[in-house]
Amino acid sequence: MTTASTAHTLGSADQAAVDAIVATLVHHLRKEHPRPSRDEPARRDAHPKHHGCVAATLEIERDLPEPYGQGLFATPGPYRAWVRFSNAFKVRHDLERDARGMALKIMGVKGAASGEDTQDFLLVTHKVFFARTPADFVDFPAAVAVRGFLRLASRTIGFFFGLRPFRFKLRGFIALQRSLNWSTSPLVRTYFSQTPYRYGRSAAKLRARPQQRGSPFQWLRLWIKLAVHWFTSLFGRPMTRWENSLRDELLEYLRTREARFDLEVQLHRDGMPLDDAVVAWSTGQSPYRKVATLRILKEPHPDIATMTAFGEHLSFTPWHGLAAHEPLGSINLARRRVYDAISSLRHQLNRVSRREPRAGESPRDYLNDIEP
């Protein structure tokens, strides 16, 4: 185990990249949502479509040995939490290939550096990000802000390869392609933090691994849906009844039972990069260790409209939390400013207040308080 250390400021090239990223995202957010409404609000630039924002509890393992019992994981809990499941890119049909996200907001965490009693962890269904640094990412938002498959494909390929062979981003391209998959349910996927967090005196990456497993029947049903969806799309009539199939699968499961994930930690070891988001850490050198159980609570009678609005107006960032779990690396430093700028603009456009939920507060009470 090594002591975590990383720069707390961006270099000039990365700082200029963050300025450009913020400007591009602000431009596209205003362009895509000129007149937001309650039915069509201004959405996030990343993970804009969510399948559900559901209640959960986080139960920390008791008597965790050193160095695992650090920060949040030094106190058994349980903690109340909210979990937002989402698609990563654009608001698209759930039968399209995409990366999927799990955003955790853990409540009642005293001493958070942000001054709020919440701890956020953001996880995605692939181990690594597709850009090493903010400078590597800078042209991506503009490249993918186009419509049409051919234009999107050509712009994406141009971003990763361009005309300068010695600056090809091959590993990033492979990471992006591997992150795009079909899914039967948000509850059977494994989610990764991609970037490291401080973990007391060390650093760590997180993984949420489901205890429930997908069945062969679920996959058979998915392939039948995909075949029908692709066939009807040839005639310009995709199957809209399955457009929100991941939300339907999530809520159908939770109507009768709870779901569980093992929250696991991979500690940093010598030689593992803290500021290269394209590189995965070796599980042979540092295996994952379970530190908590995330229980997604049963919801027999979901209020879909309230759940949707609640997930839409919450703000998630890795910078909500304890200093013991401070996000590390230049990608996370960039996220701090980008997430704050886009969240502020999104709430402004939607004409709602921006604040963290309070312990014991229901989604309906939260919405009543932030809406004019």
Residue 240 DSSP one-character state: G
Give the pLDDT score at 143: 64
Give the pLDDT score at 33: 83
Domains of the chain: 12-127+184-370 (2.40.180.10)
Give the pLDDT score at 270: 94
Residue with tokens 């937002």: 84
- In the chain (372 residues long), the average pLDDT of successive 10-residue segments reads 58 84 88 84 90 97 91 90 93 91 94 81 93 80 64 73 71 86 95 95 96 91 91 82 93 96 97 92 96 97 94 94 94 92 94 92 95 83
Following CA atoms 251, 53, 72, 134 in sequence, which dihedral angle do they give, to the nearest 10 degrees?
120
- d(C-alpha 350, C-alpha 327), whole Å: 28
Give the pLDDT score at 12: 79
User: Is residue 45 packed enough to be buried (19+ CB in 10 Å), middle (13-18) or exposed (0-12)?
Assistant: buried
Q: For 199-232, what is each residue's pLDDT tens digit?
A: 998 999 999 999 999 888 999 999 999 999 889 8
Tokens of 244: 């929100």
- d(C-alpha 63, C-alpha 75), whole Å: 9
Give the pLDDT score at 203: 96
From the centroid of its chain, how far is CA 64? 27
String of b and e for 3-37 (b: at least 16 CB within 10 Å)? ebebeeebeeebbebbebbbebbbeebeeebeebe
What is the value of pTM for the model shown?
Answer: 0.91
Give the pLDDT score at 72: 94
The answer to whether 296 and 80 are in contact (CB under 8 A) is no
Q: For 261-280, what is each residue's pLDDT tens digit?
A: 999 999 999 999 999 989 99
Give the pLDDT score at 284: 96
Give the pLDDT score at 31: 85
Give the pLDDT score at 234: 84
Give the pLDDT score at 2: 52
